[in-house]
Amino acid sequence: MRVILLIGGIISVIFAAIGAILPLVPTVPFLLLALYLFSKSSPRFHSMLLTNKYFGSILKNYQERKVIPTRVKFISLTFLWIFSLFSMFFIIDILWLRILMLCILIIVTYHVYKIKSK
């Protein structure tokens, strides 16, 4: 079971890395999932995530106090909206897919907004 959790954590980190590049692919939720899976399978990888230069403080704050810094919220929502709207108007030609993306965008924005700010 420990190996399965470890592999799941590694896959979650890979998806988070993809999410850091592509719009509408979440980064932080995959990192939170990886953090949980590593906490059950590998203290070393768990520690590596918590001490990561880019995401460590965000994960630590979320894990300990369930908060996200206001700056991180602003930046993530700004990039999310910019890249999503760009995709919706310049890349995607299918109306129902545009509507689906807009719905997902609104739901994600609401979720991030409801998380307490630091």
Same domain, residue pair 44 and 4: yes
Q: What is the pLDDT of residue 8?
A: 92
Residues 50 and 15 in one domain: yes
Confidence of residue 24 (pLDDT cuts 50, 70, 90): low
Based on the fold, state whether residues 5 and 39 are members of the same structural domain.
Answer: yes
Q: Which domain holds residue 38?
A: 1-64
pLDDT at 45: 94
Give the burial string for 61-74 (b: 16+ CB within 10 Å, else e). Answer: bbeeeeebeeebbe
Which of 21, 46, 64 finishes a domain?
Answer: 64
Q: Enter the pTM of the model.
A: 0.62
- CA 16 – CA 49 distance, rounded (Å): 12
Helices (H), the chain: 2-19, 28-41, 43-50, 56-65, 70-86, 95-114
Per the structure, how many domains does the chain have? Answer: 2
Tell me, yes or no, whether 78 and 55 share the same domain.
Answer: no
What's the pLDDT at 21? 82
Judge whether residue 23 has pLDDT over 70: no
What pLDDT digit, counting tens, does each position of 47-80 carry?
A: 999 999 888 888 888 788 878 788 878 887 888 8
Neighbour-count burial of 19, counting CB atoms closer than 10 A to its CB (0-12 exposed, 13-18 middle, 19+ buried)? middle
